[in-house]
Structure 1
């Protein structure tokens, strides 16, 4: 099938998927309200085969050190799948499945899949990574850029989104923007930080008078990034930043890595 943009609909919800641009969700509308920041770098992209930063772009697999491109010097950030063109495996009115084959600079062959399922009041994203030859460490995550404000049906600007979440801990962030390995109580925002939620990710964004959106996942890690004026990012993921080195999950031909996240909403 073509890798042109796909539009899914359910009730008054509409999702646009851009396979050719890193398999990202490039738009999510509820009625006339666009929830995701627009632009080629934004929307919501999958972070595969790693999430966040890898220290100095290097990770160890067995006795081998691999070097990834330093696309956020001095680190490598957010994986390689967001930079590639994905293929469409299937698409219906409210679901789509897209795939991506891992290629250089990632040193191992593998297959990535992403299933997008839209309901009238929710969006579920499910991703998997499988090794097609040698085993390798991997992570899965999503990086949505939610608009900080939502325009109403009349076009009027709204007030800033309010974040609500109760993590069990915050990963202390070092000067290099990576976790130090120490766990601390949540600090006041703004954040570019990783939090632990052992019962599963559960974060609510409320745009007063507009919409309440809840981000959930069975995974226990979430990065919250709200240092930019335009957007708020809530990023569920299977491990912390630099996790290929500190919390590796080995993917084998018979044991893929899978994860999902659901965004559910209600109008206010």
Structure 2
């Protein structure tokens, strides 16, 4: 598999264009800041992958847009809801690459192979830039079809669950899931899920979407005195946090543009879905910066 190695100072970042345009790992010297890829052909074992042209689940794969009803096939085994768009399951083309940045591109044609996975033509460019302080990720999604397209973007970074890992982020609300794993009820953040002050994850079990977050979060490993500060651009206004129990070796902190299954809510655009007209595009940017003193805690 083609691995693009980027270097800047003490940081090293590996990119996997063939495996969903994903990242294989981000390291500061020998310390893994993102969970290292396990070298299997499974993008869900990578360090981070792009979510495009939507994030998380679409209920039973059904949605309506422009007076038409669409049905998407399952894309994650027997899981009832299509998940995370199509970008994570496609090979991306390398447009350009240097020692510290690369430009990847993915084109989707609903009339081509795999076209049933999304009924609208689109093109997306992903830019990965590494410097001595961290990595910047950016995606621009363009509607290449002749009708309006509902759209969303995001990233799915995995962080190593080293002993005592701590998390901080502030949010105004969280969505509780029903038995179908879809958001059902919006509530103020309850105390067990409140990470406005940095604290250990312990056994908190989250697979939920937060909204009204400050677009800043910190994952911190106190035993190593190092952390990753996540800073999202306006438009990545939702945060999915997934903290599976042991023996899983990761936590996921995912800045995304819209609520899970927002496409099926009465007002999708109020929950972050962008309706792109023909030829229109949207750009979202995420920054992950290394911190050595825990100063990225939310105020």
Same fold by TM-score, threshold 0.5 exceeded? yes
SS of equivalent to 1:65: strand
Partner Cα separation in structure 2 for residue 253 and residue 25 of structure 1: 30
How do 1:188-267 and structure 2 match up within 5 A?
A: 188=193, 189-197=204-212, 200-210=214-224, 211-218=226-233, 219-228=236-245, 229-246=248-265, 247=268, 248-267=273-292
Judging by fraction of residues, say which structure has more strand: 1
Do 1:130 and 1:252's aligned partners in 2 also have CA atoms closer than 8 Å?
Answer: no
In the other structure, the counterpart of 2:142 is 130
In the other structure, the counterpart of 1:171 is 175
In the other structure, the counterpart of 2:120 is 108
- Unpaired stretches in structure 2, ≥5 consecutive residues: 110-114, 194-203, 294-299
Do 1:35 and 1:147's aligned partners in 2 also have CA atoms closer than 8 Å?
Answer: yes
In the other structure, the counterpart of 2:89 is 83
Partner Cα separation in structure 2 for residue 209 and residue 101 of structure 1: 43
In the other structure, the counterpart of 1:61 is 65
State the TM-score, normalized to the length of structure 2: 0.81
In the other structure, the counterpart of 2:102 is 96
Do 2:172 and 2:188's aligned partners in 1 also have CA atoms closer than 8 Å?
Answer: no
Partner Cα separation in structure 1 for residue 85 and residue 185 of structure 2: 21
Aligned length: 256
For residue 181 of structure 1, report the CA deviation from its aligned partner: 4.7
Deviates more, 1:98-107 or 1:75-84: 98-107
Do 1:21 and 1:82's aligned partners in 2 also have CA atoms closer than 8 Å?
Answer: yes
Partner Cα separation in structure 1 for residue 3 and residue 277 of structure 2: 31
Do 1:172 and 1:184's aligned partners in 2 also have CA atoms closer than 8 Å?
Answer: no
Runs in 1 of length 4+ with deviation above 6 angstroms?
A: none
Partner Cα separation in structure 1 for residue 31 and residue 278 of structure 2: 42
Do 2:58 and 2:82's aligned partners in 1 also have CA atoms closer than 8 Å?
Answer: yes
- 1:5 matches 2:3: yes
Partner Cα separation in structure 2 for residue 259 and residue 145 of structure 1: 19
Partner Cα separation in structure 2 for residue 231 and residue 160 of structure 1: 12
- Structure 1 residues 218-248: Cα deviation after superposition (integer angstroms, max 9, x where no partner): 2210000011431010000010111222323
Call closer, same or farther: CA 1:184–1:173 in 2, change over 3 Å.
Answer: farther
